[in-house]
Amino acid sequence: MCLAHYDGTCVTGQRGSVPLIFTWDAVTGEKKAMSVMDKGAGGLQAVSMNDTIYAAVDMSTDHHVYVFDKETGAQKHKAKGDTNKIYDITINCNGIICTVGKKHVKFWDFS
């Protein structure tokens, strides 16, 4: 399970053949939205969020980078990450994503 917290919202995720990701109200514990990672993702490796979206990395061999809508949980983008393990992900207020991992630093702009 990974956890990100931003502006009263938390994001958590599972491991498994078809992992789920949930957004929660950090104060009330109420579930806000659910997202589904692709079959074979293995689980949530890292997650980060801003005002409107959150970015996630899966545990698959290709370490895919996903972007989900924070309110609805709908998948907006997906791209192959790196075959080297991705350790962390961050996203800024403009939606620019940075992943850091073994032998790499990459920037992603899905706009």
CATH number at 51 reads: 2.40.128.630
Phi, psi of 45 (to 5 degrees): -90, -45
**Structure tokens, 29:** 């514990």
Q: Which domain holds residue 19?
A: 3-108
61: DSSP letter: T
Q: Is the pLDDT of residue 26 over 70?
A: yes
Span 29-87, pLDDT tens digits:
999 999 999 999 999 999 999 989 999 999 999 999 999 999 999 999 999 998 999 99
* Residue 65 near residue 97, CB atoms below 8 Å: yes
Q: Whole-model pTM above 0.85?
A: yes
Under the banding of pLDDT at 50, 70 and 90, the label for residue 93 is confident
pLDDT at 8: 85
What's residue 68's pLDDT? 96
CA distance 96 to 109: 5
Give me the number of domains the chain comprises: 1
Alpha-carbon distance 8 to 14, whole Å? 21
